[in-house]
Chain A
Amino acid sequence: MRFVDEFRDAGKAHALAAKIADLCEPGRQYQLMEVCGGHTHTIYKHGLEDYLPEQVTLVHGPGCPVCVIPMGRVDDAMALAAQPDVIMTSFGDMMRVPGSNGSFFDAKARGTDIRMVYSPLDSLKIARQNPDKRIVFMAIGFETTAPSTAMTVLRAAAQGLTNFSIFCNHVTIIPAIKAILDSPDLRLDGFIGPGHVSTVIGCRPYEFIAGDYGKPVVVAGFEPLDILQSIYMLMLQLSRRESTVQNQYSRVVPWDGNAVALRAIGQTMELRPYFEWRGLGFISHSALKVRSEYAAFDAELLFSVPGVRVADPKACQCGEVLKGVLKPWECKVFGTACTPETPIGTCMVSPEGACAAYYNYGRLTRSRVREASRS
Chain B
Amino acid sequence: MTQAADSQDAGWIQEVLREHGEQVSGEQPAAQGRQAAGDAGQSGERAGPAGHIRRGSPQPLPGTVREELVLERIDRARRSRPRVREDRVTMSHGAGGKASQTLIEAVFLDAFRNPLLAPLEDAAQLHFNGSRVALTTDSYVVSPLFFPGGDIGDLAVNGTVNDLSMAGAVPLYLSAGFILEEGFPVADLTRIVASMRAAADVAGVQVVTGDTKVVERGKADGCYINTAGIGVIERDVMLGVARARPGDVIIVSGPIGDHGVTIMLARGELDIEADVVSDTAPLNELVGGLLAKTAGVRALRDATRGGVATILNEIAAAAGVGVLVSEDDIPVRAQVRGAAELLGIDPMYVACEGRLVAVVDSAQADTALAAIRAHPQGGQAAIIGQIRAEQPGIVQLKTAFGGTRIVDVLVGDPLPRIC
Please report A residues at the B interface, Cβ cutoff 8 Å: 1, 4, 8, 10, 13-14, 44-51, 92, 95-96, 105-106, 108-110, 117-118, 122, 172, 174-175, 178-179, 182-185, 201-202, 204-205, 207-208, 210-212, 224, 256-257, 259, 262-263, 265-266, 270-271, 274, 276, 278-286, 288, 309, 311-312, 316-320, 323, 325-327, 329-330, 332, 334-336, 339-342, 359-364, 366, 369, 371-372, 375
Contacts and interface: CB of A to CB of B under 8 A. Distances in A.
B81 interface: no
Contacts of B91: 105, 108-109
Given A182-B30, A284-B33, 19 more contacts: A8-B401, A10-B402, A46-B403, A105-B412, A106-B90, A172-B13, A182-B33, A201-B13, A205-B5, A211-B2, A265-B10, A265-B12, A266-B9, A281-B40, A312-B44, A316-B44, A360-B406, A364-B406, A372-B402
A282 B16 CA distance: 14
B341 A1 contact: yes
Interface string B98-118: 110000000000000000000
Nearest to A359: B74
A256 B86 CA distance: 49
Q: Which 5 A-B pairs have the closest CB atoms?
A: A47-B403, A372-B402, A262-B9, A211-B2, A281-B45
Given A108-B90, A182-B31, A211-B2, A256 B7 contact: yes
B249 to A, nearest CB: 17
Given A184-B49, A257-B7, A325-B49, A205 B406 contact: no
Interface stretch (B64-72, B193-201, B350-358): B64-72
B5 A50 contact: no
B186 interface: no
A10 B46 CA distance: 44
Interface of B: 1-3, 5-7, 9-13, 15-17, 19-21, 24, 30-37, 39-40, 42-46, 48-50, 53, 66-67, 70-71, 73-74, 77, 85-86, 88-92, 98-99, 269-270, 334, 337-338, 341, 343-344, 391, 394, 396, 398-406, 408, 411-412, 414
A281 B34 contact: yes
Contact of A266 (B5, B10, B35): B10
B50 A185 contact: yes
A262 B7 contact: yes
B90 A334 contact: no
Contact of B77 (A47, A48, A208, A336): A336
A216 B12 CA distance: 23
Contacts of A340: 411
A340 to B, nearest CB: 6
B40 A49 contact: no
A281 B43 contact: yes
Contacts, number: 234
Contacts of A48: 401, 403
Q: Which of A211, A266, A320, A335 has the largest number of chain B CB atoms within 10 A?
A: A335
A361 B396 CA distance: 10
Contact of A204 (B5, B39, B400): B5
B7 A202 contact: yes
B403 A8 contact: no
B30 to A, nearest CB: 6
A282 B398 contact: no
Contacts of B31: 182
A233 B156 CA distance: 56
Contact of A334 (B70, B337, B406, B414): B70
Contact of A1 (B49, B89, B337): B337
A175 B70 contact: no
A10 B400 contact: yes
Contacts of B2: 207-208, 210-212
Q: Which of A122, A175, A202 has the largest number of chain B CB atoms within 10 A?
A: A175
B34 A283 contact: yes
Given A8-B401, A282-B36, A259 B9 contact: yes
B3 A371 contact: no
23 contacts: A1-B334, A4-B341, A92-B344, A174-B13, A182-B31, A184-B48, A210-B2, A212-B20, A259-B7, A279-B44, A280-B44, A281-B43, A282-B34, A282-B37, A285-B12, A311-B39, A318-B44, A326-B53, A330-B53, A330-B66, A360-B408, A364-B406, A371-B402
Contacts of B77: 335-336, 339
A46 B399 contact: yes
Contacts of A262: 7, 9-10
A276 B50 CA distance: 20
A50 B98 contact: no
A147 B412 CA distance: 29
Contacts of A178: 16, 20, 33
A336 B405 CA distance: 23
B402 A47 contact: yes
Contacts of A10: 400-402
A43 to B, nearest CB: 9
A282 B35 contact: yes
Nearest to A326: B50
B403 A50 contact: yes
Contacts of B35: 282, 284
Given A118-B343, A271-B15, A46 B401 contact: yes
